[in-house]
Amino acid sequence: MPEKREILDLDELRKLRLADEGYVVITTGKQATIHKVNAECVSSTNFRLKVIINERKQGSYFWVDGVATAAREFPGAKRCRVCKPEVLLVDPSTFER
């Protein structure tokens, strides 16, 4: 069964990164961006600012088990231009180029 869950604390983010499985979706307003779980663009500093300090008012972090789950759970999600997560399971036309 496809899996998605919100990441609510820094310890959970660290554990997910150590496991090195799945992807992180970062939301900002109506925009969602899919990242590799260990990408440099998924930083603990940005997580702390967005999730902990700003209390998720301007966005959130989610872990998903695959790119297909991310695309289904976050319609219109874009693939990160920096870490470029796999697009094999999702129609590439849904991603920003």
Nearest Cα neighbor of 90 from 17, 2, 9 is 2
d(CA 54, CA 73): 23
Its pTM stands at 0.85
Q: Please answer whether residues 71 and 90 qualify as being in contact, where contact means their C-beta atoms are separated by less than 8 angstroms.
A: yes
Q: Please enumerate in sequence order all residues whose Cβ is within 8 A of that of 88, keeping only pairs 6 or more positions apart, or say none.
A: 67
Tally the domains of the chain: 1
CB atoms within 10 A of CB 47: 21
Q: What is the pLDDT along the chain (97 residues), one digit of tens a residue?
A: 569 999 999 999 999 999 999 999 999 988 999 999 999 999 999 999 999 999 999 899 999 999 989 999 999 999 999 998 875 555 556 555 5
94 lies in some domain: no
Specify the DSSP class assigned to residue 44: H
- Whether 23 maps to a domain, the answer reads yes
- Domain that residue 37 falls in: 4-83
